Each structure stands twice: as C-alpha cells, then as structure tokens.
Amino acid sequence: MRNRIASAAAAALAVACLGACTPRPQTQASDTATVTVDGHDTKFQIVNCTQVEWIRTITIGSDVAGAKVVVDDRKEPMTAESVRIQNLSGFTGMYSQGGGGDATMTHNNGRFTITGTANGYRVDKPTEPASATFKVIAEC
C-alpha cells in the first residue's frame, strides 16, 4: 500500500513539474495605446501584450475595431513583423514584412512606436485597394 501511495505521489509530482516546465505565454495588460490612421488618433484602454519565446503580440482594442502588432525580439533592433489595422478611421488593412507596405519601429523602456504604411481598403470604397499611413504607440 505504501508503494502505491509513494508511486501516486511521484506521478503527481512529475506531472506538476512537466506542467511548470512547458513554455507559457506571458501576458501583460497595459493601460492605454494610441493608433493613428491617416492623422486620426484613436485611444484605447484595452491593450494586451503577450510573449511566447521571441515573438511578442500586442493586441489593441477588439476584432471589431483595433490593431494587432507582431514583434520579433530576436533581431537587433527588434522589428515589427506585421501590423493589422481593423476598422479604424474607415480603414482596414495590414503591413507585413516582405508582404507589402512599410514600417519602422522604436522600442524604449517598454514603449513601442511603430510607424508606416498599410495596404487594404476603405469602408466607403471597399472594392478599391487603398493604403493608409499609421502610427501605433503602446507600452508592454
């Protein structure tokens, strides 16, 4: 009986150790972020920063209206891999490294500033391709 209890305790401890050793995303909520599209600022109180290994994702707003930024921390300096803008100032579009548009990023004491051009479309002319300038400022 003692061997069974000891075996069960050892198995439970092994499972707990394995669970603690698997990489888990680190999530941090930030106070605010600002997304500027074609000179029109939108301020957000909903900002989530998640990091899995070397990839950091900054989610601003919601799927209805907001932005999502993916940053590669491996590179020096860090680079914005993509910026997705959803329904801000009548524009929906995306910048992705090597896939269209352009962007530059600075990072200072947890503050990310990404500026560039995204390709997509405008709400008033959804069948015509459009581009927009953007600026994202968020703290993570």
CB 69 within 8 A of CB 80: yes
Listed residue (127, 138, 121) closest to 67, CA to CA = 138
Distances (CA, A) of 67 to 1, 74, 95: 58, 22, 11
**16 membership: H or E segment, kind and range:** helix 2-21
CA angle 72, 75, 79 (to 5 degrees): 50
What is the structure's pLDDT at 18? 38
Query: How many other β-carbons are positioned within 10 Å of the β-carbon of residue 117?
Result: 15
Quote the tokens at residue 51.
């990091």
Summarised one tens digit per residue, pLDDT across range 75-85 is 788 899 999 99
Summarised one tens digit per residue, pLDDT across range 40-58 is 999 999 999 999 999 999 9
Distances (CA, A) of 60 to 4, 5, 88: 51, 49, 11
Per residue of the chain (140 residues), what is the pLDDT tens digit? 444 444 444 444 343 433 444 444 555 555 689 999 999 999 999 999 999 999 999 999 998 999 999 999 887 888 999 999 999 999 999 999 988 778 999 999 889 999 999 999 999 999 999 999 999 999 88
